[in-house]
Structure 1
Amino acid sequence: MKTLGIFRHAKSDWHDARLRDFDRPLNKRGRKGAALMGLHIRDQAVGWKRVLASPAVRVTQTIELAGESAGEMPPITWDRRIYLASSATLLDLLREQTGDPGSIMLVGHNPGLEDLIFDLVPDDGRSPMRDLVEEKFPTAAYAVVELDIDSWDALSEGSGRLVHLTRPRDLDPELGPHPLD
């Protein structure tokens, strides 16, 4: 059994049209959401052994704020392939992990993260939270998937069960959808 955490970056700032997508920082709501989700992730006490993350600015800031809030952060591997990656790319990245850690957290972007959940978690009724992901896997959402595998190189579609899903609005209604989102 392996455990995969999936953490989407917090809400980013779109006000400076000159910035490349990769360079967009978090906005005020995103900073608040990242810090709140950091506390929540810590309180789940999974004990992440490895973090794989996109080096995009909004991801690095999300991780920094979540880690400061939680007071802890496991080792991070920054991998540019995660930036706007497809589910297939994320699956390949996870399969190539060495040292066989029991738990890995992936921090990145949609639609890849959401599609990864759909690819790993079958729509068979064993994971009722999957329906919430179908509605939307919003910014700063955090999911945990238990995988019925013994090693990461054995990761395959349909091998997971979604056991946890928290969106920022679940912890603070002010962080929920706004009319302009």
Structure 2
Amino acid sequence: MKKLILIRHGKSSWELNVRDHDRVLMERGVIDAHLIGNHLKDAFITCNEIWSSTAARALQTAIIVSEYIDYNLDAFKLKRELYTFDSHELISQIKTCPDDINSLMIFSHNHGLTDAANILGSQYFENVPTTGVVIIEFKTDKWSEIKKGQTIAHFFPKNLR
């Protein structure tokens, strides 16, 4: 059994004149990342490995959330390939996860993240909002063989406030 935890980065700012890759979280993005991290802790959601896009907003979100679930940052992996807006690229990366990892947490971007959640999970989402979480389980022992799984939970900041 494999468990995939998809998390969209927090709300970011368009106010600074920087490349998209370098945009940072707004105050709301930081607050929502703490809210989601605390909720994951309270729900006893853990993972074996965390992968994050190299984009500043995804990395900031991942670091905040990881503090709540007592994740060892030595095992944290930054992946440029997760800086994608394409679901097929995102799913392709997920399928490269080593099979000894049973629970993988991914921090990435829309529209790829919402589309991947809809392709891989059993519940349809019009849009996974910023800092939204979708958890999907797969009845397989190999990440390379994941297809349609069971959406077991989702947490959106607006529902937790």
Identify whether the pair has TM-score above 0.5, normalized to the shorter chain. yes
| Residue 73 (str. 1) matches residue 64 (str. 2) | no
Give TM-score scaled by structure 2 length.
Answer: 0.92
* CA distance in structure 1 between the aligned counterparts of 2:27 and 2:80, rounded to whole angstroms: 25
| Residue 142 (str. 1) matches residue 148 (str. 2) | no
The structural deviation recorded for 1:99 is 4.3
Give deviations 1:73-93, integer Å, cap 9, x for gaps.
242111001102411112211
Q: Secondary structure at the match of 1:35?
A: helix
* CA distance in structure 1 between the aligned counterparts of 2:49 and 2:85, rounded to whole angstroms: 19
Alignment match of 1:152 (pick from 143, 154, 157): 143
Max Rg structure? 1
The structural deviation recorded for 1:103 is 0.6
Match of 2:93 in 1: 93
The structural deviation recorded for 1:64 is 1.9
Alpha-carbon RMSD: 1.5
8 A contact 2:46–2:69 mirrored in 1? no
Give deviations 1:84-134, integer Å, cap 9, x for gaps.
24111122112222242111011110011111011112xxxxx4xx24x22
Give TM-score scaled by structure 1 length.
Answer: 0.82
In terms of mean alpha carbon deviation, does 80-89 or 103-112 score higher?
80-89
* CA distance in structure 2 between the aligned counterparts of 1:112 and 1:67, rounded to whole angstroms: 22
Q: Secondary structure at the match of 1:144?
A: strand
Please list every run of 5 or more consecutive structure 1 residues that lacks an aligned counterpart in the other structure.
122-126, 173-181
Q: Secondary structure at the match of 1:10?
A: coil
Alignment match of 1:169 (pick from 132, 140, 158): 158
Count of residues paired in the alignment: 159
Q: Secondary structure at the match of 1:46?
A: coil
* CA distance in structure 1 between the aligned counterparts of 2:69 and 2:82, rounded to whole angstroms: 25
How many percent of aligned residue pairs carry the same amino acid? 31
* CA distance in structure 2 between the aligned counterparts of 1:106 and 1:60, rounded to whole angstroms: 11
- Shift of the 71–164 alpha-carbon distance from structure 1 to 2, 3 Å rule, reads closer
8 A contact 1:51–1:105 mirrored in 2? yes
Give deviations 1:160-180, integer Å, cap 9, x for gaps.
1111011001111xxxxxxxx
Please list every run of 5 or more consecutive structure 2 residues that lacks an aligned counterpart in the other structure.
none
8 A contact 1:25–1:58 mirrored in 2? yes
Match of 1:19 in 2: 18
